[in-house]
Structure 1
Amino acid sequence: MNDQSTPDPTMTRIVEAVQLGPSGDPTRARDLLTALWDEIGPTGDALHRCTLAHHLADLQDTAAAELVWDERALAAVADLTDDRAQRYDRTLQVRGFLPSLHLNLADVHRRLGDTTRARAHLGTARDLVASLPADQYGDLIRSGIQHVDQALATGSTERLGSHPG
């Protein structure tokens, strides 16, 4: 987080739970995030819902369960404003969330065999990626778009070696 202006205990809890996944305890991360989702609720703070659902999708055991959380993240971002995001981190802009959200939906639809929806979300991600800077995050999303595009071209429904975005 850069230049935080308002402490956000819920975001702190989300970040702490998310960090458990890569450190080797994805089940605990999923349990903590699911409990946080239950606290926040489907109409709670949009930044919390979007962030939590985006990360919780990655911790699911099946593509079908992942899709549910990816769709929740996209629905939540529709309620998110730049003002709200920037109260947490002055550098955040909602449009910066969108390429990743659509990339994740493209990938999960691809893995579920729904190439029509996968291509639609991939096209949206590709259109929106221009709004991302040429930095590590932007490069990650651009690379993810290429990997999902290649997987679609070969007809693969396998999980990619790394998370697309």
Structure 2
Amino acid sequence: MDILLLVLGFFCVILGVFGSFLPVLPGPPVSWIGLLLLFLTSAVPNDWWLIGITGLVALSVVALDYWIPAAGTRRFGGSRAGMIGTTIGLLVSIVFPVLGLAGIVIWPFVGAVVGELINKTSHKQALRAAFGSFVGFLTGTFLKFVVSMVLLGIFLFRFWDYRTEFFPFLNG
């Protein structure tokens, strides 16, 4: 059973790293589930503080990933309409992943431009706000990737520390 949990946990952690870039997978929470599966084995002692803190970080990053593009729009001079457009564009890219990975970049950008144009902002200002949305998207993606990689590192280090518990023949 421990080997099954180990393999499933490793699969989840790797899937979470890819989920940092893919719009349909919440990267850090999937990576965290992989880490949790490792700690549910009898080979690795439970560290509920580590699991709790990493779980809060993973959930916080997911929340920030929805907030950062809107904040980027505002930082680059976007209005409330641009922020709403960014958010609607992000939701469209999640609900209708027609363009795949490109959609999660394009739709918030388009949403910000449309929102600003509806707000009767100049084309130049609308594009600037949309650029802020794009910067926000890149920031959120980078943050998700970093957290997923840290969770992968914790998984690998914990596995390495207790590898002989999983594979006793390695005791030599």
Return the TM-score normalized by structure 1: 0.31
Between Structure 1 and Structure 2, which shows a larger proportion of helix residues?
2
Return the TM-score normalized by structure 2: 0.30
Higher RCO (CA < 8 A, seq sep 6+)? 2
